[in-house]
Chain A
Amino acid sequence: MNYIGEHLLPGQLGHFFIVLALVSALVATISYFKATNSRDLSDERSWKKLGRIAFSINAFSILSVFVLLVYIMASHKFEYYYAWNHTSRDMNPQYLLAAFWEGQEGSFLLWSFWYVVIGLYFIARKTKWEAPIMSVIAIAQICLATMVLGLYIGETMIGSNPFLLVREKFADAPVFARADYLSLPQMQDGQGLNQLLQNYWMVIHPPVLFLGFAASIIPFAYAIAGLWKKDYGTWTREALPYSLFAAGILGLGIMMGAAWAYESLTFGGYWAWDPVENASLVPWLILVAGVHTQVIFNATGHSLRTTYLFFILSFIMVVFSTFLTRSGVLGDSSVHSFTDLGMNTQLLLFLLIFTIPSLGLYLVRYKQIPHIAREEETSSREFWMFIGSLVLFLSAMVITWQNSFNPIYNKITGQSTAAPEDVEFSYNKIQIFVAIVIGLLTAFAQYLKYKKTGKGWLKKFVVPTVITAAICVIYFLVSGLDYDKKGIGFQIAIYLAFVAGVYALVANASYIWSGLNGKLKAAGGSITHVGFALSLIGILISASNRKVLSFNTTGINLKWDERSKEKPLENLTLIKGVPTDMGDYMATFVNADSTNSNGNISYYRIDMMRKDSAENFTLYPNLIRNTKGMEGFSNNPDSKHYWNRDIFSYITYAADMDNRDDTAQFKRYTVNVKDTVYYSNGFFTLNTVVPNPNNKKYQFQPTDTALMADITVFSKEGTRFTAQPVFYVEGNEARYIVDTVFAQNIAIAFSRVLENQKIELQVKESNRMVPFIALKVYEFPHINLLWAGIIVMTMGFGVSMVYRRKQGRLKAINKI
């Protein structure tokens, strides 16, 4: 059939470039492989030349694929599944890139794009390690190209092609029987970007994270190059800036993800030990361990074997994390694992292609890797740095085990083991001790000297110790750390970790002056440690002292199942326009507003007023209707940021979330004073009838004709409410004012005056009385320490990188 209106050229071009990318990566791999192994210099040169050309073609192809796919998405070519599935016309153009990497194909392309950048950089640098490094990168490019290939070999699909058409994806859907299917309304717009990803962090977090993932191949490739060429110890100086770069960027990328989670998810924090988070943390921990052993080796000649191991494993863990999060094996254990595209075997192969040869080579060459038989002095810096690296590495291994044991064990054995009852605590109770040890080691290791430390070092340590003690004592007296839910043991551990964090902060900050005479350029390590310590302190304070502000203050007595471990009462109902007591604040739900054209985002304006001062501010948490055919809404939090705390709020329920119509009718009752009327949740009694009431609520004059029924409502729960409906005459017409008891969902009207002192009351029961929301509000104290710490840490990595690069160059010149 000839379909009308399809634009097939960009897709055909795109797919051609994917195939070209694959082929050129293969050629580049072979050429660079030959170049690495050739003994003849001219031979090597010609192979290298071929490799460069092939890699350049690969680079051009990947960039073309990137541009073509962006073009298809930006120009709303909804005949393409990727555009149809990930974008929509009303999507803000700034989220185009977020939509690009929403799908697996886009994120593989992003990853491949960074290898293009890294590869071109190494070709331009003309290092003597170019051939082996580029061999490794080219193999990675082969693997990534197959992920987006979308070719069938027999029954097996290899990769998922981002240029697939909708009619190819859903070949059996009846609409494609029509040649003009593109003119149908369902093809005029796409499914849109997942509402949770419509956040600026989602534009920037994936590129940074993937740059970190991609950059971790550099130390890996250097290590492989060293083993391959049997030139074991000469690459480490040259490679140090790159491993610092990889660690810095990966750390930043991970924490940008945490910032996104904090801003747009509602688990009430920035880290949940979710498998996806863990999978990216593990390579970072190993990479940081590797950076430290690399520094040790450069300074002393120790720890080269460990450096190899750490760099090889950190990259393997990057690929393993890809396997874990994309293959769907995590399935039930993660709230946000990616869709299973049916590429498990392929992902497993990707993992094995890197794991087996690299670890095999490492084991074969292990004995040849130079090492110093004499042991490090206990007073030496390298000894304690090594211990620290070891702790980081083991921490990574423990996390890996906890993270992947269940899904893999279940997959293999068919068992149904599941995560512990309190998942977060199962990690926290281990990592808190890692934090203590790492904090203390970070504090004092720099004060030691390489090889051997003389006696005087403790003196330099006196001032930081005194300052640390002072800060801790003051903080503990003024504020303390309130987390006692897990018992006194864990609380003590939190206190210890706090002390260790402050110690690391103070000791490293003062080392910049006492050890380095204030030379900031050389202080990259100390700056990074200061940032790390700040983050640690920020995490401890904000997580331990997190406060729920939205405690239910309505006085409704709730009965809890004694076995329930849920913390009750964390949601507070706010009725529109009624200021409600919320801890230090009075909260008022003012109104709800839709801002975008199709009304799928509603912002709820909450005015917060402090009780003890005139200070007030407004929060706008919102609800976004789910896209992609999912039911329901997603709640997006809003925070008020102060320098020392955040007020974090999100909607847990809004009355207009579901459009149940109010079909309830008024029922009539004829009553006398002292009569009782029953309703579904209790009863009420007419106490008296007051003529011309003049109180807070009504101001009638003695000349008016008005009657107020004074009613007490008794609910089943034992609470009492007052209702005061009014009947009055105005301009010879009978009118009445309904009074509503919101907490009981009843409205009572005084509708008529009857004979014999009887009156007619009308009662309506409905849960649709008035707009209201249920709100959850947290206070995160000192969360800015965490974010500031991350920024300082990243800057520290940058400073180190520049310094080490210069140092490496000087060393190289000195050798000549």
Chain B
Amino acid sequence: MKKTHIIILIFIAVAIAVLISFMGDLTTYDTVASARQKEGKFVHLIAKLDKSQPVEYDPIKNPNYMRFMAVDTLGNSTPVIYHNAMKCPSKYKEDVEANKNNLSSN
């Protein structure tokens, strides 16, 4: 066996090991209800800001504390506490529906 082949095999083995460890780090997307079942675990939650509830953010008192309600597609909601200021969530995704609304409402 050539040493190049041995090295290739070693590298591939390392790559596979690395990927297996990566797979172990994966998390899941959850709903509010299923996330509640997994207390203490890190989950990804896709939810919308509940606009019927106030957003608590008072930078004068504490610029690192924000609390709001998020509601998921099933209608369950959960309070969210964010110890930071908000980042802009949607980058350059455009909302065709919003555009259409602009067309009709002006």
User: In the complex, what residues of A have CB within 8 A of residue B42's CB?
Assistant: 421
Determine which of B30, B60, B91 lies in contact with A772 in the assembled complex, contact meaning CB atoms within 8 Å.
B60
A residues in contact with B96, CB < 8 Å: 339
Distance A634 CA – B88 CA, assembled complex (angstroms): 6
Q: A489 in the interface, Cβ–Cβ < 8 Å?
A: no
Asked if A628 and B99 sit within 8 Å, CB to CB, the answer is: yes
Residues 417 to 431 of chain A near chain B (Cβ within 8 Å): 417-421, 426, 430
Asked whether any CB of chain B lies closer than 8 Å to the CB of A70, the reply is no
- Report the tally of A-B residue pairs with Cβ distances under 8 A: 171
The chain A residue with its CB closest to the CB of B2 is A375
Contact call B92/A102, Cβ cutoff below 8 A:
yes
Chain A positions within 8 Å of B91 at CB level: 196, 265, 335-336
Q: Tell yes or no: A121 within 8 A of B by CB.
A: no
Nearest CB of chain B from residue A280's CB, rounded to whole Å = 16
Q: Which residues of chain A (239-298) have a CB below 8 Å from chain B?
A: 265-267
A595 at the interface (CB under 8 A from B): no
Closest chain B CB from A416 CB (angstroms): 4
Cα distance A406–B99 in the bound complex, in angstroms = 31
- What is the interface size of chain B, counting residues whose CB is below 8 A from a CB of the partner? 56
- Nearest neighbor of A556 in chain B, beta-carbon distance: B62
How many chain A residues touch B (CB < 8 A): the figure is 81
Known: A421-B42, A430-B18. A569 touches B11 (CB 8 A): no
**CB-defined interface of B94-105 with A at 8 Å, one 1/0 digit per residue?**
111011111110
For B59-77 the 0/1 string (1 means CB < 8 A from A) is: 1111111000000000000
CA distance A418 to B102 in the complex (A): 34
Given contacts A186-B103, A417-B26, A571-B59, A628 and B85 within 8 Å (CB-CB): no
Judge whether A759 is part of the interface by a CB distance below 8 angstroms: no
**Cross-chain contact A745 with B61 (CB below 8 angstroms):** yes
Is the beta-carbon distance between A571 and B104 smaller than 8 angstroms?
no
Tell me whether A560 is interfacial, beta carbon within 8 Å.
yes
Taking the closest CB of chain A, its distance from the CB of B82, in whole angstroms, is 8
**In the complex, A77 has a CB within 8 A of chain B:** no
- Shortest B5–chain A CB gap in Å is 9
Task: Using known A-B contacts A375-B4, A571-B84, A767-B58, determine if residue A394 contacts B11 with beta carbons closer than 8 Å.
Answer: yes
B19, A401: Cβ atoms under 8 Å?
yes
Instruction: Give CA–CA (A767, B42) in the complex, Å.
Output: 35
Return the chain A residue nearest B57 by Cβ: A653
Mask: chain B, 1-21; 1 = CB below 8 Å from A; 0 = not = 011100110011001001100
**A320 near B: Cβ within 8 Å?**
no
Closest to A422 in B: B25
| Chain B residues whose CB sits within 8 angstroms of the CB of A744 once the complex forms | 61
Closest to A770 in B: B60
Q: Which of B62, B85, B98, B99 contacts A652 (CB 8 A)?
A: B85
Q: Is A742 an interface residue (CB 8 A)?
A: yes
Distance of A488 from chain B, by nearest CB (Å): 18
Contact B22 A552 (CB under 8 A): no
Among residues of A, the one whose C-beta sits closest to the C-beta of B65 is A558
In the bound complex, how far is the Cα of B80 from the Cα of A378, in angstroms? 58
**Cβ contact within 8 Å between B63 and A417:** no
Q: Which of A184, A397, A426, A629 contacts B15 (CB 8 A)?
A: A397
CA distance A406 to B88 in the complex (A): 24
Q: Which chain A residue shows the least CB distance to B18? A: A430
Identify which of A390, A406, A419, A571 contacts B7 (C-beta below 8 A): A390
**Do A652 and B8 touch (CB < 8 A)?**
no
Measured in the bound complex, the distance between the Cα atoms of B62 and A744 in whole Å is 10
* Bound Cα distance from A405 to B18, whole angstroms: 14
Measured CB to CB, the nearest residue on chain B to A328 is B93
Q: Is A398 an interface residue (CB 8 A)?
A: yes
B29 touches A416 (CB 8 A): yes
| Bound complex: CA A773 to CA B60 (Å) | 9
Residue numbers in A under 8 Å from B59 (CB-CB): 571, 573, 652-653, 655, 772-774
Alpha-carbon distance between A653 and B82 when the two chains are bound, in angstroms? 14
Chain B residues closer than 8 Å to A426, beta-carbon distance: 22, 25
> Which of A102, A402, A629 is in CB contact (< 8 Å) with B22?
A402
Q: Does B83 contact A (CB under 8 A)?
A: yes
Residues in B whose Cβ lies below 8 Å from that of A630: 90, 95, 98
B81 at the interface (CB under 8 A from A): yes
- A629→B4 contact, CB < 8 A: no
Once A185-B106, A191-B99, A394-B15 are accepted as A-B contacts, the answer to whether A570 and B88 lie under 8 Å apart by CB is no
User: What CA separation (Å) do A394 and B29 show in the bound complex?
Assistant: 29
Residues of A within 8 A of B18 (CB): 398, 430
CB pairs A–B below 8 angstroms (24 shown): A335-B89, A335-B90, A337-B93, A339-B93, A375-B2, A378-B3, A390-B7, A394-B11, A394-B12, A398-B15, A398-B19, A401-B22, A416-B29, A419-B44, A566-B82, A569-B64, A570-B64, A573-B59, A573-B60, A630-B98, A634-B88, A652-B63, A652-B86, A743-B60
Ranked nearest first, the 7 interchain pairs of A and B with the lowest CB-CB distance are A652-B85, A629-B98, A336-B91, A420-B25, A186-B106, A774-B63, A571-B63
| A-B contacts besides A85-B94, A170-B100, A197-B92, 10 pairs, CB < 8 Å | A173-B103, A336-B91, A338-B93, A390-B11, A394-B11, A418-B26, A573-B60, A629-B102, A743-B61, A776-B85
